[in-house]
Each structure stands twice: as C-alpha cells, then as structure tokens.
Amino acid sequence: MNEQEMKMDLQPEEERVSPAPEPVVSPKEPQSEAEQGGISSQETSTFEEESSKTEEVSSVAETLPTEEIPKTEETPPVMEAEPKAAHYDAPRTPYRWDYQNYAELERKNRRRRNIGGKIALGVTLVVILVLIVASVSMWKDYLGGGNELPSEGSSESSSLGNESSVAPEISIGQSQEGGSGSSDSDVPTEYLSVSAIASKVRPGIVGVCSYVDEYPFAPIGEGSGIIATSDGYIVTNQHVIDGADGIVVVLENGERYEAKVIGQDSYTDLAVIKISATDLPAVKFGDPEEMSVGDYVVAIGNPGGMDFAGSVTMGIVSALDRQIQTGSGIPMSCIQTDAAINPGNSGGALVNTKGEVIGINSSKIVATGYENMGFAISMTDAQPILNQLMKNGKVTDRVYLGVSVQEVDQWTARVYGVPVGLVIVEIDEKSPAYQAGLRAGDILVSLDDVQLEFVTDLTQLLSYYYTPGDTATFQVYRADKLEAGKSITVQVKLAEAK
C-alpha cells in the first residue's frame, strides 16, 4: 500500500468521494432533449459541479504531510460503506386483490353462518315442542276437571270425581310426600327465629275467597288456607267456604286458581279444597302433644282479607286442650294462644318454633273485656278428619247421638248434690238418644263403665270405639222435682251422622 492510499484510508468516511468520470463531449451538434433520450442540460451541469469538487478534495489530500505509520502485526480492517438497500431502487408494482382467496374466505364464513343458523333453528324447534307438550298436558288436566267448580246441589261425594282412589294422607311430623316444602335437613337448628319461620311457612299459606252467583264481582268472604300437599290439596275452616258457589285460591306469589270442594264437615269446622297445580310448597305438620304452656308460637294468615295477606304474629301457648264448641255444638280440642288472630285468619296456621303447623286457626273470643284469646284446632283432632275428607269427601262411620252436653264439675256437683258427669242441655227429638229415652236435664255419668267428666271424654269414646249401628250403654242420673234423683241405665243404638 503506497502513501497515497494510506492517506485516503485515514480520511473520514463521510468525506470519501469516488472520483466521478469525466464527461465525454461529442463534437456533434447538440441535440434536443427528446433526441438525447431524455438527458437535459441541467443534468450535465450537475455532473461538472461534482467533478470540480472531486478535484478539490484530491488537491487537499496532496498538501497533507506524509508521516510514516509504524507497522503492526495486525492491520485494522477497513470499514467499508454498506451498499444501499436494493429495494429502494426496485420498481414498485401496484397491489392487486386476490379475488380467488376472497371468494374462498367468503365461502368459509357462509358455511359458519349456516351451521350457527341450523343450531339456533334446532334449539327453537325443541323449545316449541316442549311448550306444545306442556300445553297439551295442562289442557288434559283442565278437561279432566282440575278447574271445575262443584255444581249447584251436588253432594260432597260427587265433588270428588276420581280423587278418592289417589287421595294422599296428612302425616304429623313428616313432610308430605312429593311436597316441595322444607324437609328435616332444611332445618339448621331445633328452634328457628320468627323470620326463619315466616320464610319457611308463608309460601304454604294461601288466601281463600268465596263467591256467590248473585254477586260474582267480589268475594262474600275471605279467609286463609294451608297447602297440605304439593299437588294442590288445601285445608281450611268449613265456615270460610260455607254457602259458596265458587272458590278462588290466591297463592303467596299472587297466582289465582279456581278450587273445587273435596269435602267439608260442619261438625268439626274443617274442609278440604283442591286446585289444579303441582310443585306447591306444602307445609310440614307437627305434633301438638310436644308443646307445653308458655312455648312460643307464630300465627300466619290473612287478617282482614287479602289486603293484609301473609301477616305474621307471635305469641305463646296460653293453654292446651281447650274444649271449644264449633258452630254445630261439637267440642273440639283447641290450642289457646295470645298471638293475634282476627277475622280472615280462619283456616291459617299456628306454627311451632320448628316451623311445623300444629294447629288450624279457627276462632277467638270477641266479647267486650276479652283480649288476646285465640284458638286453633289441634292437629291431633284435625288429622283423622282431614284424611277422611281427602279420601271420601266426608267423615264416614261417624256416630250420631243427638245431644248437647255441659260439664258438671266437682264443685257444682257438691253444691247441688248430684254426681259428676255431663248434663244434657239440648236434645234432638229425632235423634237415637231421644228415641232411647234420654231427656234434657239428665246427667250422663258413664259410658260402658267409663267415667265421663269432660266433654272430650264422650266425643273421643264415640269417635274411636264406636261405629254406626253399635249400642252404647249409659249410666244416667235423672233428677226428679218431687223426689230424690235416681240412677238409670239407658241403651242407645247409635246412628250414622249425616
């Protein structure tokens, strides 16, 4: 490498300029721009300027002092300028749309849309089919008499239709079979709060509205009812539906159903009606025998009618086994409570702290000077009556004696010098008792050697141990105005209650 080349290598890269070739001047006459293939005079001047600059750089390089550069074993590599990217000078071609790829993409999207549409159509058809099947099933139930009201003048047994063969039974201490009410596993503790009791039982309490043909625009009476089974059996008081030509049941969620009478019993003031519905929140019935005076209870019903539906009041058990006479004069074992019970609560539930229905609210003392004295028919007495109504539409094999009695306690017996027993205060002259020789004023002392002290003694003995056609033997004390009373024996052939 000579000195001139060494000097050139020491120049900065930005000052290295390749000598431009000298232009060749043709002696021919100058031609027009078109004739020269598009080269103008302006371009020629540019080449001359670059050539003059190159000569100046060469002259400057010659004036630099020459120094001898010591030789080293390794000569540093010469950095060469990178060539310009080729794509800068490459000709640009216009972009062309590939219609074949676009058509293929469109076909794929169309196939996807077709598959989604088919799935949506299939789901819609399935939903429509399910709705059609459900509608046909509901219509069959309707035509089968689910929403028919009992015809005027029809008997209780005729209102049953085909229900008697499949009628369920009410069980104490168990959730009703098929019911959607709370089971034992739903009860977290033995004793629930009032709010927990209300949440558990309120869905099973309904409104019972009675209508008559003469005035069908508004109910003549509104009471309460208890859902006994999930398939629509509802228990209530007989006086709530007495004389009604049509009955409408209103659920807690506001749904309304026409109801038919399955059976009613004026002697015990109990009735069973039914609506065409399924999966209803049936309540759980409890055992009143487990209750004690002072235990907390909750009353749930519709005091004053549907305007105050689902009202919840709390109280205690004031007394157990109170003998309260029904409208027919038949005494029923009732639970006395100070929980508020008002007109409209009839047929509602009296609930223990486990959320179990132990009584059917039926009455209260409304006389002046009495407060907080409400009564609920004990489920112990109500259960067998309700099961017969659900099965037969009436209470079968119930004996009929035909007397109304009142207790003669020990204090009264001592004052008047008579035995303890039940005095006849009223007697039906067409009854078996009257035909056998019993009269008003007679004191029934015993029935087949069983002492009679309370009204329930007589009613329970007749209900549990006698059937129509049996003969009952009474020991009777008959007082005589002219002489001392005497004891006589009267045998009565019991008839069936109508």
Q: Which of 315, 314, 316, 334 lies closest to 324 in space, CA to CA? A: 334
* 114 Cβ neighbours under 8 A, 6+ residues apart: none
Say if CB 19 and CB 56 are below 8 A apart: no
The residue extents of the domains of the chain are: 3-74, 158-392, 399-496
List the pLDDT tens digit at each of the 498 positions of the chain.
454 544 444 454 444 445 555 554 444 454 544 444 444 555 455 555 555 655 555 555 555 555 555 554 555 555 555 555 444 455 555 555 555 555 666 666 666 666 666 777 778 888 888 888 777 666 555 444 433 333 333 333 333 344 445 667 776 665 555 444 444 444 444 688 999 999 999 999 999 999 998 888 888 888 999 999 999 999 999 989 988 899 999 999 889 999 999 999 888 889 999 999 989 999 999 989 889 999 999 999 988 888 888 889 999 999 998 877 776 656 778 899 988 888 888 888 999 999 999 999 887 765 566 677 889 999 988 888 899 899 888 888 888 898 989 999 999 999 988 999 999 999 999 999 999 999 999 999 999 999 999 887 888 788 778 989 999 999 999 976 655 678 899 999 999 877
Specify the DSSP class assigned to residue 427: E
Query: How far is it, in rounded angstroms, from Cα 409 to Cα 420?
Result: 6
CA angle 4, 5, 8 (to 5 degrees): 90
Coil, helix or strand at residue 456:
helix
379: tokens are: 């489920």
* 441 Cβ neighbours under 8 A, 6+ residues apart: 423, 424, 478, 479
Query: How far is it, in rounded angstroms, from Cα 159 to Cα 450?
Result: 40
CATH of domain 158-392: 2.40.10.120
Residue 131 phi/psi, 5-degree rounding, is -65, -40
Query: How far is it, in rounded angstroms, from Cα 254 to Cα 260?
Result: 19
Coil, helix or strand at residue 435:
helix
Coil, helix or strand at residue 120:
helix
Coil, helix or strand at residue 108:
helix
* 142 Cβ neighbours under 8 A, 6+ residues apart: 276
Catalytic residues: 239, 269, 346
* 8 Cβ neighbours under 8 A, 6+ residues apart: 16, 61
Instruction: Kindly list the distances between the CA atom of residue 90 and the CA atoms of 39, 82, 85, 86, in Å, as whole numbers in the listed order.
Output: 22, 17, 9, 6
Residue 419 phi/psi, 5-degree rounding, is -75, 160
CATH architecture of 399-496: Roll (2.30)
For the stretch 316-320, contacts whose Cβ atoms lie closer than 8 Å and that sit 24 or more positions apart, written own/partner, are 317/291, 317/292, 317/293, 318/293, 318/373, 319/293, 320/288, 320/291, 320/292, 320/293
Say if CB 317 and CB 336 are below 8 A apart: yes
Query: How far is it, in rounded angstroms, from Cα 118 to Cα 124?
Result: 10
Name the pTM for this structure: 0.56
Environment class of 272 (CB within 10 Å of its CB; exposed 0-12, middle 13-18, buried 19+) = buried
Say if CB 362 and CB 342 are below 8 A apart: no
Question: Are 158-392 and 399-496 the same fold in CATH?
Answer: no
What's the confidence (pLDDT) of residue 34?
43
What's the confidence (pLDDT) of residue 481?
63
Query: How far is it, in rounded angstroms, from Cα 471 to Cα 493?
Result: 4
What's the confidence (pLDDT) of residue 182?
46
Q: Within 314-403, where are the H helices?
A: 379-392
Other CB atoms within 10 Å distance of the CB of residue 156: 18
Side-chain half-sphere exposure of 162, counting CA atoms within 13 A: 4
Query: How far is it, in rounded angstroms, from Cα 366 to Cα 342?
Result: 9
- 334 φ/ψ sector (left φ>0, alpha ψ -120 to 50, else beta): beta
